[in-house]
Amino acid sequence: MSLETLSENRSFGGTQGVYRHRSQATGTDMTFGLFLPEEAQHGRVPVLWYLSGLTCTHENAMTKAAAQEWCAEAGIAIVFPDTSPRGDDVADDEAYDLGKGAGFYVNATQDPWKPHFQMWHYVVHELPELLSDNFAIDRDAMGITGHSMGGHGALTIAMTHPERYRSVSAFAPIANPTESDWGRKQLTAYLGDDRAAWRAHDSTVLMTERGYPGEILIDQGSSDQFLDLLKPESLAHAMMARRQPGQFRMQPGYDHSYFFVQSFMADHVMWHAERLI
């Protein structure tokens, strides 16, 4: 796959790049951000995947999450994929929570979404292969995190493929989408009416059925304006019932914004670094 460099900027001794390539998974051009620490000039480095939330592109977390400083300190890379396919021929919806910017990290099986909305395959398979072929990242030392819809994606992907991801965390994840309006609408559109197909994309269900072999870190703001949609209590209860190792932290006064993400980004980066290095 050919790779086009859109920009590269010096950042905390490393390089923050933005790149574009033609994706076989989505059938579209896809753009992603990648920060490489200085250590990548001398060999392969661990990589942290950051999956963004509804309405975001690769750029939101890249510019707002304040991750580069901490990744440079830890000596790990961080990649910011887009949240959906883009292009004039890509299906969309007038609502912000379906279509472009709202891929939900699933492989759609229903029209009109099926031809392009293959975000699970893109994030789990295609983009990691592209990165390892073109950059000094170590595919045997990968962690994954995300915010909101991206937290949902990070948790479900890690619990489904624990052999690929040595660490996992999440910021305010959509924790029980099969029982939320942030989930039932999108899973019906992308996967159809069979609720059995939805279960693979619900972190509360996956926690109940299989859990994760390592520890999990989750931060949730107590003043998050979307608590009723996120349903953090469902996942917290499932973690307790399974006796899942890890931490579920309710942070007093924090909302759903990137100010919340910034406030705890250092904790998350160092959490992953301890498990990847």
Residues tagged active-site: 148, 224, 256
Q: Is the dihedral of CA 131, 137, 139, 143 positive or negative?
A: negative
How many residues are there in the chain? 277
Rounded distance between C-alpha atoms, residue 32 and residue 49, angstroms: 11
